[in-house]
Amino acid sequence: MTSLKGKVVLITGAGRGIGRACALRAAEEGADLIITDIGDSINSVPYQLSTHDQLETTAERCKELGSSVLMQLADVCEMNDILALVEAAVNRFGRIDAAVNNAGIGAPAGKATHLYTSEEWEILLNVNLSGPWRLIKAVAPIMIEQQYGSIINVASTAGLLGYKHFAGYVASKHGLVGLTKSAALDYAPQNIRVNAICPGPVYDDERLDGHMTKVVADSLGLRLGDQESIDLESVALNTVVSPLDVADAMVWLASDQSQRVTGTTITVDAGYSAK
């Protein structure tokens, strides 16, 4: 416990799922938090994104765990939103020790590469790749001044492997892994570490308002139960990943226990990518 005591952690996409799990685990480990999510819809994304109420639920649960929490809506596609978020964080806490790029979308998907519209392709890259770059651009000057920081990008096994009918998502997550490696080299002289977590199939935990397994099922025209069975059969350990498993990896990367780790990916996939 308290491996993040005294640290300030910023988490995007914290309204539900992996983002909420990361916020709760960071709070349990003693961190103060800046949490954000979009709280709105995007026209070309075919499912409901996280709401203001879901982000507020995350904030309240973290406060119950003893964390001081700054909650602010922000769209990772808007540089002004990200700059305002980081400015508010520094005004409130004076520093940012770790930044978790978790915000992302899993669809539009479910089609061959040439069938994506330009709008569909561009929103996947804008949220999943350019969004993390925007946060890095905003927090890097703070961390350079501190001469310390940990940036954690939540990628996917889709950043390591190909998935049929998910070319936009796969391209964005491969790009995020590449961004991780290059940024790690850029900021190593300032003692800023940059790493990626690559989750495999993650189940939709109702306690966390998880939604991504359903997004995948809907994209492929499958029943949720059928997609869950496919996910279970695809992993070596015969158990799909909990969002809290991903959050545990995040806590380690945000802590001083991983101070010699940078430019790498941690795969949390129950053996999916070993096959």
Where in the sequence numbering do the catalytic residues fall?
169
Contact between 241 and 199 under an 8 Å Cβ cutoff? The reply is yes
N- to C-terminal Cα distance for the chain?
34
Give 10's strand partners: 34, 99
DSSP track, 75-135: -TT-HHHHHHHHHHHHHHHS--SEEEE------S-SS-GGGS-HHHHHHHHIIIIIHHHHH
Q: DSSP state, 183?
A: H
Alpha carbons 201 and 216: distance in angstroms, whole number: 10
